[in-house]
Structure 1
Amino acid sequence: MTCQSCVNDITNILNVFPNVTHFDVDLENQSVVIEGTAPPSQLARALKDTGRTVVVRGQGVADDQQGHSGAAVCIFDIYKDNPNQAPPTGTSGLARFVQIDRDTCLIDLTVQGLTPGKHGVHIHESGDISRGWLSTGDHFNPTGVDHGDDCTGHVGDLGNIDVDTNGWGDLVVESERIKVWDIIGRSMVITELADDLGKSSHADAKLTGNSGQGILSGIIARSAGAFENMKKVCACSGATLWEEARVQEQPKAV
């Protein structure tokens, strides 16, 4: 943000969201604090569509929920099967997990730069990324059931994220099966193909949903709540210093 015009643009955008109850745009501190129930991915995407760089610094829960029972984040920083190969320019993603209460976990996932269409999303049992997604093991499946949808399949089955023609995709899931404390240290993988949710006759339908190889993957790490663990973004390299930030433009060195 550079001027009052930026503040006005952001205000106009946020006023469109009926589930945003209050927001404060601080030009001097370059921050926007938003209260409401709108998924952070949708808010960040709307703001980014104005051409501005957006970094989500934290996520909390409503005041009447008395805090949350834990939070986690997964930054998708491994491309395909090579842990040393950075994703192509403009391809990235981030998932946030907030345990709203003992029974409900909110998952909010955003990706950028993938091929338009549906891509499978799964939590894998292992956090070993020494060979990229190939070393992450099977889908997280503590109940020993067949692959399926996010209600009846593996606990790690999250269905599909639908990527639009601009390469953006958002997925918001409220799960009563996933618990933040059970998935920290595991991995998350986005696949090249759509997940058939175990409904096809393909040989892999009951194992992987015939969703193909992994494209993006990352480790699920413990995270802070809103503004509890502020980090800086390096202006020289553009690297995010373990910051639980969503997709960010690479800033140029000056």
Structure 2
Amino acid sequence: MTIPPFETTFAVPMTCESCIKDISGSLYKLNGINKVTASLQDQLVSIEGTASPSAIVAAIQDTGRDAILRGSGRSNSAAVCILETHSLQVQNKVRGLVRMVQVAQDVTIVDLSIKGLSPGTYHATVRERGDISQGPESTGPIWEGLKTQEGKLGRGVFGTVEVGKGGVGSVFLDRPIQIWEMIGRSIVVARQQDGKFDKNDADTLVGVIARSAGVWDNNKTVCSCSGKTVWQEREEQVGRGML
């Protein structure tokens, strides 16, 4: 399936036109970048194309700058899921992030990144319920998990992600899903696709799918709740293990 282009915006610290040139040069080296625009005044970089948000962040970080995703797609067309382990032996619970953007009527792209796991193959599935109080055990069965008559994967089966020796893995794929159908459900990433999970397994991750901002929906630089800047919040998130 050919993924149509979509837009993402990132907050990036920039001081001059040379910053924009460095960032643009790094981004245009990626496959699937159609257009890059930046605003020094707003400290925002907008990218149009089909490259994954995680690849865009990595390209910006290669210039020595950090990047915070501020929005993807149109309003009400994006979602996010923070993946955590319930293991009591792990200090930093956050071990993964799933970004989802609906780019067509029945096409949603999924950008999944995980780190700190043991090497191997992991299965990512959307579950019927968003109850993660007991880890994966309380999330219910796979959402529409049975194969269709055409032999295709059920919509709740995202697929597999390979984790290398460094404990890092990522996958960028598309599924025939609309964003609104998944809000409030959960995602499980584990060595097994289904069955009885062990919530104390440090390599089993779970999180609830929540709506996230579309492009230009979120231009705040200071949180109204905490009074912290987006970069202070970012520092805390990285400390918790956020990608």
TM-score between both structures, scaled by the size of structure 1: 0.69
**Cα gap change, 1:248/1:34 in structure 2, threshold over 3 Å: closer, same or farther?**
farther
Name which of 79, 94, 98 aligns with 2:85.
Answer: 79
Q: Partner of 1:53: helix, strand, or coil?
A: coil
Is 1:158 equivalent to 2:162 in the alignment? no
User: Offset of 1:51 from its aligned partner?
Assistant: 4.4
| RMSD of Structure 2 on Structure 1 (CA) | 3.6
Q: Tell me which residue corresponds to 1:70.
A: 77
Where structure 1 has 5 or more consecutive residues not aligned to the other structure, the ranges are 61-66, 196-206, 241-246
The letter for the 2-side match of 1:88 is N
Q: 1:164 to 1:248 in 2, by over 3 A?
A: farther
1:232-254 CA deviation, whole Å, 9 max, x = no partner? Answer: 463599556xxxxxx95349xxx
Secondary structure in structure 2 of the residue aligned to 1:128: coil
Structure 2: tracts of 5 or more residues without a match: 1-12
For the residues of structure 1 that align with 2:76 and 2:213, how far apart are their CA atoms?
11
Counterpart selection for 1:127 from 125, 130, 137: 130
Matched, 1:219 2:208: yes
Aligned to 1:203: none
Separation (CA, whole Å) in 2 of partners of 1:158 and 1:209: 19
Shift of the alpha carbon at 1:137?
Answer: 1.5
211-220 vs 108-117, greater mean Cα deviation: 211-220
Partners of 2:67 and 2:127 in 1: CA distance: 29
Name the structure 2 match of 1:181.
Answer: 180
Residues 55 and 248 in structure 1, CA contact (< 8 A), matched pair in contact too:
no
Q: TM-score, structure 2 length as denominator? A: 0.71
Describe the shift of the 1:239–1:11 C-alpha distance in structure 2 as closer, same or farther (beyond 3 A).
closer
Shift of 1:13: 0.7
- TM-fit CA distance, 1:94: 1.9
**Deviation of the 1:101 alpha carbon:** 2.6
Q: Which has the higher strand share?
A: 2
| SS at 1:43 equivalent | helix
Aligned residue runs from structure 1 range 110-121, under 5 A: 110-121=113-124
Whole-angstrom distance in 1 between the partners of 2:239 and 2:158: 29
Distance 1:168 1:47, change over 3 A: farther
What secondary structure sits across from 2:105 in the alignment? coil
For residues 189 and 182 of structure 1, do their structure 2 counterparts lie closer, same or farther at Cα, with a shift above 3 Å needed? same
- List per-residue Cα deviations over 1:107-150 (Å, max 9, x = no partner): 222223333443211111110011122211221126xx36x9xx
- Cα pair distance change 1:25/1:159, threshold 3 Å: same
Aligned sequence identity (%): 34
Q: Determine whether 1:105 maps to 2:111.
A: no
Out of 38-47 and 2-11, give the one that drifted further: 2-11
Asked if 1:35 corresponds to 2:48, the answer is yes
AA of the residue aligned to 1:182: E
Aligned residues: 217
Q: Aligned in 2, Cα 1:21/1:226: closer, same or farther, shift over 3 Å?
A: same
